[in-house]
Structure 1
Amino acid sequence: MRAILFGGAFSLLISLLGTRVAITVLSRRGYGQEVRDDGPTSHHTKRGTPTMGGLVIILATVVGYALANLLTGTEPSASALLLLFLFVGMGLVGFVDDFIKIVKQRSLGLRSKAKMVGQTVVAIVFGGLALSPMLEDENGRTPASDSISFLRDIPALALPSIVIILFIWGIVAGFANGVNLTDGLDGLATGASMMVFGAYTIVNIWQRNQFCQDLPTANCYDVRDPLDLAIVSAAITGACFGFLWWNAPPAAIFMGDTGSLALGGGLAGLAVLTRTELLLVVLGGLFVLETLSVMVQVTWFKASKRLTGTGRRVFRMTPIHHHFEMLGWEQVTVVIRFWIITGLCVAAGLGIFYAEWVAGS
């Protein structure tokens, strides 16, 4: 348990101090945020704010995890290394996107197909390795499972490995882009991600305390490396906490796609490795809501244009946080209320997780 505290504390400190350095360095190099022209006019003042701050979150997480293991003499597990691979890999795709925006001075970086190809490669490699027999532990457990899961594996939903890999790809791409869509207001995605990663730290700790290898009861959790996953999750939580100091309204730095894709990928990876893929829909309910708002807007607009010749919209603007801005809400009001929604989703998800264990014990 000391390693969890060390991981969170070190990453928080590195992120808190490192982000200040990043603001200075990025500002000197002119690596500022480009703003979409069709967005709320109030966002135009943000043009030029340093971006790619997600690099600090990634660095703080990796270093915090490494220091925690070094101080406690713990060897990295296959599950934790896979999660970090997904986290850093998705961040690299986001970094390329951010860099193109900066170099070409436009609000769009990688083309959508190129970005999806990058995400797909990282997700497929992660899924293939997570299911590989080469990474089985002494009890024959692979980091991921061949079954779709809610609170634990659902035996009736055991599927061929290729189908599970495609399912993993869908989760990774969905939540990476969900966090990316949410990252449109100062501190919104950072604060929401921090809460969900904090929830996964609790989930991992609980799974470790009720681990089948140590406590072989009827209701134990047959997962792999829950303690090491808790260290990574705590490190990401701490990194988000430190970054939020500078990213809170009014933001002095943005995480960019570098941070949002990394955080979304990290959430998806934790869901896969803890056998809680469907529970992530509850815990990360805000990201699901943001994604659905865009899907509904696009679908309704295209359908109405085809039927009536005039495209109609459900929301004034999507993702949905911009809809409330267009209604006249202050940005900070939208952010705080969406944080509250995330808190309720996290409370509901943890409540469901714990209630299932109590009911079966």
Structure 2
Amino acid sequence: MKSILVAAAVGLVVSILFTPYLIRVFSKQGFGQEIREEVQKSHSAKRGTPTMGGMAILVAMWAGYLATHLTVSEALPSVTALLVLGLTTMLGVVGFLDDFIKIRKRRNLGLNKTAKLVGQMLASVLFAILALRFPDENGFTPASDNLSFIRDISVVSFGVIGFVVFAYVAISGWSNAVNFTDGMDGLAGGTAAMVLASYVLISFWQFRNSCELVSDIGPACYQVRDPLDVAVVAAAAMGSCVGFLWWNAAPAKIFMGDTGSLAIGGLVAGLSMTTRTELLMIVIGGLFVVEALSVVLQIVVFRTSRRRLFRMAPFHHHFELAGWAETSVIIRFWILAAISCLFGVGLFYADWLALAGGG
């Protein structure tokens, strides 16, 4: 527990202190956000706000994790945690390149779709291949080639190649979903903090009830590798998002940009695979799912009927154009995100109770 608290605290403090430094540097360099033409009227005042603030989240996350291992944790960094951190960082680099091109070319389009997908593919394939290696003394690898809900679904096995494909779809899907959500001040950052808090609870509970440590709860124990260190990663990232939110909340002084949104999407995908909760993540990250689906539905309906299902996609802009104040949209969407997280954690705990004979 002390490791988790230190990781969260260091991530929070580093993020709060490092973000204003980035604001000053990026403002001086003119690294400002370009605004989509469709939302120019309501968001024109945000033009020029520093972007690429996701760098603060990444730096603070690493700081929180490493500080824990340098101070309170006697164990070396685990393979599982390093794989999740590596995946997050690689996608952050893809997002940084996207943001940098937008800034240099003074437009709201950075990397083209092919380049972005290639970057996501490289990160996903490397993570997937390595995550099926490095078994511990109990034979548990960082990830499993079985599909999972709250635990592995043994009858649904991908095999190595299938898992690599699945990992690419999941990682690119979640990184794009978070990217779609990042359209209002603090919306993605606040939602991500809640999702990561859920994974702190899940990972820590898996640690306390790991099959490596507990032998008397039968099928209720969790066959996962390095759950405590995964909880430390989630805690460090959660603290980083909360610290960044201090400066990113409306009216935002800085945006996370694709640097942050792609990285966070990769992080939650990595956490879902290493905790064997891939389908449960759809519930916990329900707001991200809705935002992504709104974009897909908008495209499908428009191409088939030449009509728009929503005033604008992603979904949050629909309500803004309907007359809702931006802060009202953000707070109500945060409430929906919190409900999704609570429901997901509730399902996780109910599964444990059922298997442990508690109900």
In structure 1, the partner of 2:47 is 47
In structure 2, the partner of 1:207 is 206
Q: Does residue 91 in structure 1 map to residue 98 in structure 2?
A: no
Encode CA deviations 1:187-212: one digit per residue, 9 max, x unaligned. 00000000000000000010001010
| Amino acid across the alignment from 1:296 | L
| Amino acid across the alignment from 2:47 | R
CA distance in 2, matches of 1:146, 1:31: 42
Give 3-state SS (helix, strand or coil) of 2:39's partner. coil
Q: Does residue 4 in structure 1 map to residue 8 in structure 2?
A: no
Report the alpha carbon displacement of residue 120 of structure 1 after superposing the two structures with TM: 0.7
Give 3-state SS (helix, strand or coil) of 1:93's partner. helix
CA distance in 1, matches of 2:25, 2:128: 36
In structure 1, the partner of 2:339 is 344
In structure 1, the partner of 2:155 is 156
Report the alpha carbon displacement of residue 104 of structure 1 after superposing the two structures with TM: 0.7
Report the alpha carbon displacement of residue 76 of structure 1 after superposing the two structures with TM: 0.3
Report the alpha carbon displacement of residue 260 of structure 1 after superposing the two structures with TM: 0.2
Q: How do 1:263-302 and structure 2 match up within 5 A?
A: 263-302=264-303
| Amino acid across the alignment from 2:337 | T
In structure 2, the partner of 1:137 is 136
In structure 1, the partner of 2:38 is 38
CA distance in 1, matches of 2:188, 2:40: 18
Give 3-state SS (helix, strand or coil) of 2:153's partner. strand
In structure 2, the partner of 1:173 is 172
Q: How do 1:1-361 and structure 2 match up within 5 A?
A: 1-72=1-72, 73-132=74-133, 135-216=134-215, 217-218=217-218, 219-304=220-305, 311-361=306-356
| Amino acid across the alignment from 1:325 | E
Q: What is the number of equivalent residue pairs in this alignment?
A: 353
Give 3-state SS (helix, strand or coil) of 2:154's partner. strand
Report the alpha carbon displacement of residue 360 of structure 1 after superposing the two structures with TM: 1.2
Give 3-state SS (helix, strand or coil) of 1:39's partner. helix
| Amino acid across the alignment from 1:300 | V
Report if the CA contact (8 A) 1:40-1:322 is conserved: no
CA distance in 1, matches of 2:89, 2:348: 28
Report the alpha carbon displacement of residue 159 of structure 1 after superposing the two structures with TM: 2.4
| Amino acid across the alignment from 2:160 | S
| Amino acid across the alignment from 2:46 | K
CA distance in 1, matches of 2:117, 2:336: 29
CA distance in 2, matches of 1:3, 1:319: 38
CA distance in 2, matches of 1:243, 1:82: 23
Report if the CA contact (8 A) 1:317-1:323 is conserved: yes
Report if the CA contact (8 A) 1:124-1:169 is conserved: yes
| Amino acid across the alignment from 2:154 | P
CA distance in 1, matches of 2:178, 2:39: 18
Report if the CA contact (8 A) 1:40-1:326 is conserved: no
Report the alpha carbon displacement of residue 359 of structure 1 after superposing the two structures with TM: 1.0
| Amino acid across the alignment from 2:3 | A
Encode CA deviations 1:227-249: one digit per residue, 9 max, x unaligned. 00000000000000000000000
| Amino acid across the alignment from 2:113 | S
CA distance in 2, matches of 1:338, 1:157: 34
Give 3-state SS (helix, strand or coil) of 1:38's partner. helix
Q: What's the RMSD between the two structures over aligned residues?
A: 0.7
Runs of 5+ unmatched residues, structure 2:
none
CA distance in 2, matches of 1:39, 1:298: 18
Report the alpha carbon displacement of residue 158 of structure 1 after superposing the two structures with TM: 1.8
Encode CA deviations 1:249-294: one digit per residue, 9 max, x unaligned. 0000000000000000000000000000000000000000000001
Encode CA deviations 1:319-357: one digit per residue, 9 max, x unaligned. 000000010000000000000000000010001000111
CA distance in 2, matches of 1:159, 1:53: 37
Runs of 5+ unmatched residues, structure 1:
305-310
Report the alpha carbon displacement of residue 74 of structure 1 after superposing the two structures with TM: 2.5
CA distance in 1, matches of 2:346, 2:55: 33
Report the alpha carbon displacement of residue 40 of structure 1 after superposing the two structures with TM: 5.0
| TM-score normalised over the length of structure 2 | 0.97
| Amino acid across the alignment from 1:39 | V
Encode CA deviations 1:130-171: one digit per residue, 9 max, x unaligned. 012xx1111111100011000000111122111011111111
CA distance in 2, matches of 1:57, 1:43: 24
CA distance in 1, matches of 2:345, 2:174: 19
